[in-house]
Chain A
Amino acid sequence: MSDGRQFNYIYGVIAFLVMIVVNFALWRLFFAPTNGVFKLFTPMYGLSLAAFFMFSVMIVADIFEYRERENNIGKGLMLTAVSLVIFYAGYYGLFWNVLGKYGVTYFSPQAIVSAGGTGAEIWNARENASLAILYVITALIWVSIIWNTGLKSFPWQNDTKWVRGVSRFFGVATFSVFVYAIFFHPNVTALFVPKQIYAGVLPWWEDAAMTSSSFYHLGWMFAGLFVLMFIEDSMEGFPLDKFSSGEEKRWVSGIVSLVIAVAAGFVILYIIEAILNYYWYEPFMGGNYTDDPRFRHLHVAEISAFFMLALLIIKVYFNNIINLKSSALNYLVRFAGVFVLGMVIYFFYYSDTIGPKYMDRVPGVGSIDDTSLCWTIMSMAIIMVHDKFFNGLPLRRKDG
């Protein structure tokens, strides 16, 4: 392990298999649309729930730095419970019942229905509110990962953990407001009839994206996040660490982190969409399914998330494959591993047989009623809980 602890590959495989069982059980319990219990995959409602929970885990583990490294199951359960409380209080309390009812109508399905007007019934209202919440969470996750990768604890590295956590949380939240307002809010205000033109501008990216949907931004943001995650988890922070000395003066690496997130995000977006164009022709404004530019952008986010999931699996359960002295070789092999596993997950999800059976979904690509992000993000959240709150039990030992 990169943290110097022993890694047992057999335990890694066992833990991975257990994770798959947990994954299947939770998907069937909460999301599976036909054979599930709660059937929350609708899809925006389910997706926003999964994303919010993942961010709650990130708040506890990455922003406030509460992680379990001593194999204490009780502490792991407590941290999980805290994440669930943040998730529940944030999603239903803050968004649905405080912000939605006393501030911004579109964050609460009930508030939308109460306001009346075209399309203001519970089905549309819940999906629209969920989309808005998803966008907010995307902004928070995007800023949070850029911050953690680039700045880490800077400029509060000499303060207590609690001060660092609170400061970083409000720092992330502040920047996220701008990200949300510029990239996502104009989409949400266009969900209503008439468009809320005094609340938000008309989507300004329409010509470049061939759609006024903010899925365009989901595409490049998720792609950029994958690169940052690879830098942090598979390349031990290289090359960002080269821009600063230790914990001091990390503001430079913070800016570089932001530049990488944006630049790499767009480059990957264009590369993946060029490949998709090769298969499905170029999309056109107003097309459906694979012809829909909106779907293509979303699909870039979906593909990036598959690679993020692959990255987490390889890091947590397979110790990043190799740990040789040659960093370059390590990075190369790990990238190859992430790419291959990411493609395997892609074909698993979109296969005509096993994926749809596992996921309880109709085979096919590009349906507006289906996005793989819900399952992928739920899977990443499960692995994060296992890794950060339970120290990857049983695969890591207390003593190295």
Chain B
Amino acid sequence: MKRRTFLKGLGASAVGLGAAATLGSPSKALAARGKEDIGECKSLKITVLSETSWFNNDQFKKDIVDNGGASTNQYAIPWDRENSGGYAALLEIEQLDGTVNKLLLDTGWNNEWMDYVYERHGIDKMLKSGEIDTMVLSHWHLDHFWGIESTLKHNDKITMYGPETMYEEDEKLLYGGKHEVAGCENNVPFKGKLIKTNPKEWYKLMPGLAVKEFDVPILLRVRGENVIYVNVKDKGIVTVTGCCHPGLLTLYSTARRNIKGGEKIYGCYGGLHISLFENWDPKFDDIIKGAERFEPVKMGCNHCTGWIWAENAAKAGLPIVKGTNTYKTYPKQSSVAKESNVFLTNGDTVTF
């Protein structure tokens, strides 16, 4: 029996309506507001500045397990600093008139590593010159945020979009502070404008690009993630994520439901938060099958996606963009990197 048919029949039942009165506004009511027009751009180029948030997966997991598990406070864990790297990407958005806007996504973890990465890609100069004047912080996880000093030392007045669900510890670090146990510090207080994003709004930074916050609980006591939606003319929607905790298909579904032109999904870039610890679960098969139904054209993934998921997705026929061996020229590499190159790794680029 097809379960969906049965469920649809019950969907508008009196029980459902009764619960609606009890639980408040259902999401369908929110969708009725109409679709957001985020405009269009000509193309999007992404450079992987660093996707190696940590280099040894086992050590990272050990740090978590030894200190309480997945839901413990990230600031209460004495992390192995030698294992820390960071996540950051450079977005170059070409407008329909040919002008190119640059945007920084995240700022990594280990300042020494991020300084190296920024210098290698000229990000330090772009920050200093104001060529990059805006950063979207995907979420407040250590590997995306704790390297904030590396950005602020070049531009402490940068405009920053961060989820409103920040904790006191995040605020302390952002405005110049130190966390002894966790081993992170920032000596350059933030003086720019912090736009705290909430899930009700679409933040349209430029034609064809908007930021949307998803208020979801995330491991290590973090909450909420910003996702960048880009609408590329004649191609469709591209999602750009730090970790994609809300789930890739939820992002696609949100685009279809809420963005003008969002029916056409073109692709994605970023960590997809699937088999991040290189394990397997039937749910990961679900994601492969579910993704096929959205018919994406170009999928660039790395970081917390999990090599094993990317390999299986590629085998199943999903359009996974292969990386190069550029990452081998970096002083440190991830212990899970493989010859299959199903990740866009450090130094790789992808254009949508």
A33–B277 touching, CB < 8 Å: no
Chain A residues near B176 (CB, 8 Å)? none
Say if the beta carbon of A277 comes within 8 Å of chain B.
yes
For B26, give its contact among A39, A128, A279, A285 (CB under 8 Å).
Answer: A279
Chain A residues near B279 (CB, 8 Å)? 118-119, 124, 128, 191
- Which of these binds chain B: A164-172, A252-260, A287-295, A310-318? A287-295
Say if the beta carbon of B130 comes within 8 Å of chain A.
no
A287–B250 touching, CB < 8 Å: yes
A303 CA to B248 CA, complexed, in Å = 27
- Which of these binds chain B: A153-161, A203-211, A221-229, A239-247? A203-211
Say if the beta carbon of B200 comes within 8 Å of chain A.
no
Contact with A along B253-266 (1 / 0, CB 8 A): 10001000000000
Please judge, given known A-B contacts A124-B277, A278-B11, A285-B289, whether A39 and B216 are in contact too, CB under 8 Å: no
A119 CA to B307 CA, complexed, in Å = 11
A270 CA to B6 CA, complexed, in Å = 8
Say if the beta carbon of A121 comes within 8 Å of chain B.
yes
Say if the beta carbon of B36 comes within 8 Å of chain A.
no
Where chain B touches its partner, the secondary structure class is helix
A270 CA to B3 CA, complexed, in Å = 9
Q: Which A-chain residue is minimally distant from B279 (CB atoms)?
A: A119
Chain B residues near A43 (CB, 8 Å)? 70-71
A34–B71 touching, CB < 8 Å: yes
- Which of these binds chain B: A6-14, A48-56, A366-374, A376-384? A366-374
Q: Which A-chain residue is minimally distant from B250 (CB atoms)?
A: A291
Within 8 A of A (CB), among B55-74: 58, 61-62, 64-65, 67-73
Chain B residues near A190 (CB, 8 Å)? 280-282, 285
Interface residue ranges, A against B (CB under 8 Å): 33-34, 36, 39-43, 45, 118-119, 121-124, 128, 187, 190-193, 203, 208-213, 270-271, 273-275, 277-282, 284-289, 291-294, 343, 361-367, 369-370
- Give 4 closest A-B pairs by Cβ, nearest first: A288-B247, A286-B290, A33-B71, A364-B217
A–B complex contacts, Cβ < 8 Å, 14 sampled:
A33-B72, A34-B72, A40-B69, A118-B280, A119-B277, A192-B280, A212-B285, A213-B282, A284-B290, A286-B286, A288-B245, A288-B250, A362-B221, A367-B218
Interface residue ranges, B against A (CB under 8 Å): 1, 3-4, 6-7, 10-13, 15-17, 19-20, 22-23, 26-28, 58, 61-62, 64-65, 67-73, 76, 215-219, 221-223, 245-250, 253, 257, 275, 277-283, 285-291, 293, 308
Task: Given contact pairs A33-B71, A286-B286, A293-B286, enumerate 17 new A-B contacts (beta carbons under 8 Å).
Answer: A33-B70, A33-B221, A34-B68, A34-B73, A34-B76, A119-B308, A122-B62, A190-B282, A203-B282, A212-B286, A278-B19, A280-B26, A286-B283, A294-B283, A364-B217, A367-B219, A369-B217
